[in-house]
Amino acid sequence: MPTFVYKAIDGAGRQVADMLEAPSRVSAIDLLTQQGFCPVMVEAGEAAAKREWRRPGFRIVSKAEVEAFTRELANLLAAGVPLSRALNILSREAARPTAKALWATVHDQVAGGQSLADALRSHPKHFPAITVAMVRAGEMGGFLDLVLDQIAAFRSREQDLMGKVKAALVYPAVLAVLATGILTFLLIYFIPRFSQMFLEFGGSLPALTKAIVTASDLLVRFWFVLVLAAALAGFGFHRIRTSPDGRRGLERTMLRIPMFGVVVGRFALVRFCRMLGTLVGAGVPLVGALQVAREAIGNQVLADTVSGAIEQVQRGNSLARSLQQCPVLFPPSVVEMIAVAEESGRLDKELVRLAGAYEQELDRRLKMLVALAEPAMLFLMAALVGTVVIGMLLPIFNLQELVR
């Protein structure tokens, strides 16, 4: 039965918004009237969602809501509930209007004849390509409930891993912002007062002091030019990052940075192994699982290297032998463990185990990077501030010469 989104005025004069099922729009209006509501807007779920989707702020459906939707849908399907009915249940029980309308749209698309994968593909901001590919594999293989449960578990682990990375970057980022703020304050407020005093004394200033005073004067007089230059630089960086060639260049540079490049590689390895192990364990064919897991890497340079390995697997080579061509992503020890797992028939379990083991290593490397970044940022901040202070104190040591 079609779902309708409505807004109405109740008997107390309050506006309410909800969803209901009815054979037609006219029946929905009659049903609302019988319940004592005065209908303001009644539209089919998909049409209303598309209209509301253009409203500012409506598109916000959190990752936690998407994860809960995926897990609950898996539970309903595992219990034998038909897909259309399960989607309808989830749309009715959604707590927030944004999620309610999104689930209703997916329900209407599936009820209209689309596959679940095609319905999810029309909402790329909430269901990435890797999720769509896994759902499609589950629909084709007849194990959609298992795949959805695996997606929810994978997204949960991904959020935990991303949370660790973000938490590790918080303190260095705070120090960088603090150093920038202090340096800007010194150049805008502190330096001009000293430079005016030096001008009154006359005489020549040390080279360091002249450079600091010049930088302060430029910042005070042409701050808008610097802001514009920063905005243009940010825009240019965004364009480079969003273009395929520019993104590959940035990712290639990150991989070459000492220590940081290893962390990027381990992060990609964890995502790849966990996704591939999940898909193989769910019964997805190896080539299809590799193609989906490649999208989970998150680094296009490393994903390109995996593409060659996929071609080797398609030609009949073993997975371990194919992955030997990607030493940046797969160390020799990982390749050997995958080879043993292939021979023993427990590839899925070994891949998941490798993901857990290297996730622990990644956590240790992140902690080490933070431990090194903290003193480095403190040293840099002290060096910048100290240079400014020393540069302004140098003329005071020659105060007698300046007075003459």
DSSP-derived secondary structure letter, 187: I
| 56 falls within a domain | no
| Tokens linked to 55 | 């409203």
At residue 232 the predicted structure's pLDDT band, cuts being 50, 70 and 90, is very high
Asked whether residue 249 falls in the same domain as residue 294, the answer is yes
Name the phi and psi angles at 120, rounded to 5: -70, -30
Tokens 């490798």 map to which residue? 354
Asked whether residue 259 falls in the same domain as residue 367, the answer is yes
| Tokens linked to 273 | 């192994």
Looking at residue 58, its pLDDT comes to: 46
Asked whether residue 148 falls in the same domain as residue 132, the answer is no
Helix (H) / strand (E) element for 151: namely helix 144-185
Indicate whether 380 pLDDT > 80: yes
Q: Are 370 and 360 in contact (CB under 8 A)?
A: no
Asked whether residue 70 falls in the same domain as residue 105, the answer is yes
**Top mean-pLDDT range of 91-95, 173-177, 352-356:** 352-356
Asked whether residue 277 falls in the same domain as residue 236, the answer is yes
Q: Are 323 and 338 in contact (CB under 8 A)?
A: yes
How far apart CA 306 and CA 325 sit, in angstroms, is 8
Helix (H) / strand (E) element for 159: namely helix 144-185
Model pLDDT for residues 295-318, shown as the tens digit of each residue: 777 777 788 878 888 888 888 888
| 188 falls within a domain | yes
Model pLDDT for residues 270-292, shown as the tens digit of each residue: 888 888 887 787 777 888 888 87
How far apart CA 174 and CA 378 sit, in angstroms, is 11
**Sequence letter at residue 176:** A
Asked whether residue 31 falls in the same domain as residue 180, the answer is no
The reported pTM is 0.62
Asked whether residue 212 falls in the same domain as residue 348, the answer is yes
How far apart CA 201 and CA 204 sit, in angstroms, is 10
| 55 falls within a domain | no
Asked whether residue 126 falls in the same domain as residue 201, the answer is no
Asked whether residue 250 falls in the same domain as residue 376, the answer is yes
**Sequence letter at residue 226:** L
- Residue 82 lies in domain: 63-142
Model pLDDT for residues 139-157, shown as the tens digit of each residue: 776 778 877 887 787 777 7
Model pLDDT for residues 9-36, shown as the tens digit of each residue: 777 767 776 667 777 777 777 788 888 8
Looking at residue 143, its pLDDT comes to: 74
| Tokens linked to 233 | 């630089």
Number of domains present in the structure of the chain: 3
